[in-house]
């Protein structure tokens, strides 16, 4: 099993620590696509965008609902039941696979389980940590102009006895996914995009004609949760490891309740590998030239019959192939869904049919896209402690470095692409919704990210060029480093690495 070298964890923190300085500039990459200002988020959380007010718009009380009350409302009952079921299954799997390693709540266990009591406690609530415009996903929800996401972080609201710090955050995010345009709303996608792009960096966001003016309970589509279910400190028998539980719950407006749902593109690896019929069906579907082209662009929408309704994402994950990766074994090894000959033949057929692939030009590129198109695989790429968007902790008196960093390099590196799509929508043009691999942003001709850790600067993901160059993998040969830097492989097998100063 491949593990990320210890120094990589430090590198990730250093890379992410560079983001706030850049985000504070007038040319911040998230301009027009996200709200990450702490003061703005505090104001929005005290108004209609507080979670309980979004879920219960009729509620007028000033005090926010604590989580014991939040999970007692009928709409949230299925969410609690599903999360409880995942905890029970996780503990049972642990007992079966690692019987000699203890698991439970507290530091006395080998695997330290998240304390579920805190999730449903009167001492915690979900606090607004960021708002992200995902109109770049209009291809998946054209009539609704894509999505707007309200991201909340689980936070203790009462200080522990003798604790001088502000209420500490807990390792869980809840993402309330909203339709950018509610059903029947008298506004166009061009107008919605224009509002976001025209908004000054400090707002006002909720004023008449502002980007959040038409956002409310009627826009709710689903909830996505990301919970650090357990972690294991480094020991004599294992490296440090943290497992994250990912879930999705669709909102059923007819009964005003959330229901557990398949996760978009979260391929159910175990079920596919165990079912030869399903395996053949999935292979035929994905290698069809039309679907393969969408897969290459990153806009594929895999049918739900092939998907899972929950996932455990372990971190950190090394650069070499590993069973910790979401789709390990689907394209190589005994019983795999796809063989190298299958992929090569499909790529050739697509090219002969006039399909110009942008990212997948080899088996390795196909494997990487198989991984990063999934929720858990993307989650494992260039994240901070497993979260791409932890958000700023505006409740802290003395926020730690981790709390100050609003998002990962993956997040910031994708903002130029998202802004280009917003601009195209505003101007009534057909957007290019394609995206590169999660760990290397698609530049689209822009030089905005040149020399940064998001693209080819220090710490950026890269590909070790070989000699002769003709032997370099076609999917990654343009993953180079800026002048003065060299690509250094971070694994024992893979030539994917990170850009560092020459001679390091």
Predicted local confidence at residue 470, as pLDDT: 86
Above 60 in pLDDT, residue 25? no
| pTM as predicted | 0.90
pLDDT tens track for 478-488: 999 999 999 99
CA nearest 450: which of 31, 29, 133?
Answer: 29
Place of tokens 């999970």: 71
Average pLDDT estimate for 83-91 = 97
Predicted local confidence at residue 412, as pLDDT: 87
CA nearest 416: which of 381, 438, 390, 442?
Answer: 442
Higher pLDDT, 29 or 196: 196
Predicted local confidence at residue 337, as pLDDT: 96
Print burial letters for 148-167: b (CB count within 10 Å at least 16), e (below 16): bbbbbbbbbeeeeeeeeebb
Residue 38 · residue 44 · CB < 8 Å:
no
Residue 151 bridge partners (DSSP): 130, 175
Average pLDDT estimate for 171-178 = 96
Tokens describing residue 151: 């991201």
Above 90 in pLDDT, residue 433? yes
Binned at pLDDT 50, 70 and 90, residue 316 comes out as confident
Above 60 in pLDDT, residue 317? yes
Tokens describing residue 155: 């936070």
Contacts 24+ apart (CB under 8 A), 81-88: 82/247, 82/249, 82/260, 82/310, 83/116, 83/119, 83/225, 83/227, 83/245, 83/247, 84/116, 86/229, 86/245, 86/247, 86/310, 87/113, 87/116, 87/229
Average pLDDT estimate for 445-468 = 88
Binned at pLDDT 50, 70 and 90, residue 391 comes out as confident
Above 70 in pLDDT, residue 75? yes
Average pLDDT estimate for 400-414 = 72
Predicted local confidence at residue 383, as pLDDT: 63
* Maximum Cα–Cα distance across the chain: 70
Mean pLDDT (the chain) is 88
Lowest-pLDDT range of 15-19, 198-202, 310-314, 488-492: 15-19
Above 60 in pLDDT, residue 20? no
pLDDT tens track for 26-59: 467 788 899 998 889 999 999 999 999 999 999 8
Phi-psi region of 278 (alpha: psi -120 to 50; beta: other; left: phi over 0): alpha
Binned at pLDDT 50, 70 and 90, residue 291 comes out as very high
Above 90 in pLDDT, residue 469? no
Residue 360 · residue 369 · CB < 8 Å:
yes
């Amino acid at each position: 099993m491949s593990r990320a070298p210890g120094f990589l964890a430090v590198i990730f923190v250093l890379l992410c620590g560079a983001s706030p300085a850049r985000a504070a500039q007038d040319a911040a990459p998230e301009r027009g696509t996200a709200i990450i200002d702490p003061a703005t988020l505090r104001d929005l959380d005290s108004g209609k965008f507080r979670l309980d007010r979004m879920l219960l718009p009729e509620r007028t009380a000033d005090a926010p609902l604590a989580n014991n009350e939040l999970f007692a409302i009928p709409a949230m009952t299925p969410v609690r039941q599903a999360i409880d079921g995942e905890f029970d299954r996780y503990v049972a799997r642990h007992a079966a696979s690692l019987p000699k390693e203890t698991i439970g709540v507290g530091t006395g266990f080998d695997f330290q389980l998240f304390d579920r009591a805190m999730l449903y406690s009167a001492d915690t609530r979900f606090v607004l940590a960021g708002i992200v415009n995902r109109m770049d996903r209009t291809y998946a929800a054209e009539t609704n102009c894509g999505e707007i996401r309200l991201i909340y972080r689980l936070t203790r609201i009462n200080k522990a006895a003798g604790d001088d710090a502000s209420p500490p955050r807990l390792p869980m995010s809840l993402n309330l996914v909203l339709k950018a345009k509610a059903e029947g709303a008298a506004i166009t996608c061009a107008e919605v995009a224009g509002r976001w792009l025209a908004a000054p960096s400090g707002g006002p966001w909720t004023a008449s004609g502002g980007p959040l003016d038409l956002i409310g309970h009627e826009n709710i589509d689903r909830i996505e949760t990301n919970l650090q279910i357990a972690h294991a400190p480094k020991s004599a028998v294992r490296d440090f490891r943290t497992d994250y539980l990912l879930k999705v719950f669709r909102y059923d407006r007819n009964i005003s309740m959330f229901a557990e749902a398949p996760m978009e593109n979260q391929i159910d690896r175990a079920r596919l590998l165990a079912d030869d019929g399903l395996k053949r069906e999935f292979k035929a579907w994905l290698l069809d030239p039309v679907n393969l082209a969408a897969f290459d662009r990153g806009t594929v929408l895999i049918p739900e019959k092939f998907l899972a309704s929950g996932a455990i994402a372990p971190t950190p994950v090394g650069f070499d192939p590993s069973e910790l990766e979401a789709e390990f074994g689907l394209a190589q090894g005994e019983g795999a869904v796809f063989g190298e000959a299958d992929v090569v033949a499909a790529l050739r057929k697509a090219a002969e049919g006039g399909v110009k692939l942008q990212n997948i030009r080899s088996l390795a590129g196909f494997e990487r896209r198989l991984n990063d198109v999934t929720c858990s695989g993307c989650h494992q790429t260039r994240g901070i402690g497993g979260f791409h968007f932890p958000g700023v902790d505006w409740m802290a008196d003395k926020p730690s470095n981790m709390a100050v960093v609003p998002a990962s390099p993956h997040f910031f590196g994708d903002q130029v692409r998202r802004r280009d799509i917003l601009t195209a929508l505003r101007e009534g043009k057909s957007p290019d919704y394609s995206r590169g691999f999660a760990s290397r942003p698609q530049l689209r001709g822009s030089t905005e990210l040149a020399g940064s850790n998001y693209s080819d600067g220090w710490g950026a993901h890269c590909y070790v060029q070989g000699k002769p160059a003709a032997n370099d993998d076609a999917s990654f040969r343009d993953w180079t480093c800026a002048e003065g830097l060299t690509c250094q492989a971070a694994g024992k097998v893979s030539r994917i690495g990170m850009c560092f100063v020459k001679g390091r």
